[in-house]
Amino acid sequence: MGGNSPCASCKLLRRRCAKDCIFAPYFPSDDPHKFAIVHKVFGASNVSKMLQELPIHQRADAVSSLVYEANARVRDPVYGCVGAISYLQNQVSQLQMQLAVAQAEILCIQMQQEPALPTHSQMDQDERSLLLHSNLDSIPQYLNFTSYPSSNVIQDPLKRESLWT
């Protein structure tokens, strides 16, 4: 960064870019808009003061924060980046509400299914006993009727049979 090629800040401020120019590392001459917008919103001397108060390793982050805030302020002169923050916070709370509703619905469905299971199997058992009563020699037919895993199907009729005969 010699005096011949001033940084974007010094170019805009029409001053000689010193070797220790505080802006030079963060405002390269090929991106004049970056400094222009920060200068417009915060003022060059304020930006200089803010950077001087910070340790060197934090200055780059501070500059990108200032650029972001300046862009937001130009886009939204009333709320600046607070507008974006509150919009996103709104979205987060809306999504959290949707999530809570979906979780409540899942719970409802689970609770509807759980008490339904015993009555369903009760009906199945009644049908089974009816089938077993009416024709005990047609067990293969009954095996096809149920959709239980084969291990259950084999065990169950045997138990039933011993009960009913």
Beta carbons of 1 and 19 less than 8 angstroms apart: yes
Smallest gap from Cβ 48 to Zn ion, in A, equals 10
The nearer residue to Zn ion, 14 or 159, going by C-beta atoms, is 14
Q: How far apart are CA 82 and CA 90, in angstroms?
A: 12
The nearer residue to Zn ion, 16 or 75, going by C-beta atoms, is 16
For Zn ion, the binding residue among 2, 5, 13, 17 (CB under 5 A) is: 17
DSSP states along 39-101: HHHT-HHHHHHHHHTS-HHHHHHHHHHHHHHHHHHHH-TTTTHHHHHHHHHHHHHHHHHHHHH
- Whose tokens are 């809306």? That residue is 94
10 is a site residue for Zn ion (CB under 5 A): yes
Count of residues of this chain found to bind Zn ion when the rule CB under 5 A is applied: 6
Q: How far apart are CA 49 and CA 27, in angstroms?
A: 15
24 is a site residue for Zn ion (CB under 5 A): yes
Smallest gap from Cβ 61 to Zn ion, in A, equals 20
The nearer residue to Zn ion, 2 or 118, going by C-beta atoms, is 2
The nearer residue to Zn ion, 16 or 120, going by C-beta atoms, is 16
Using CB under 5 A, list all residues that contact Zn ion. 7, 10, 17, 21, 23-24
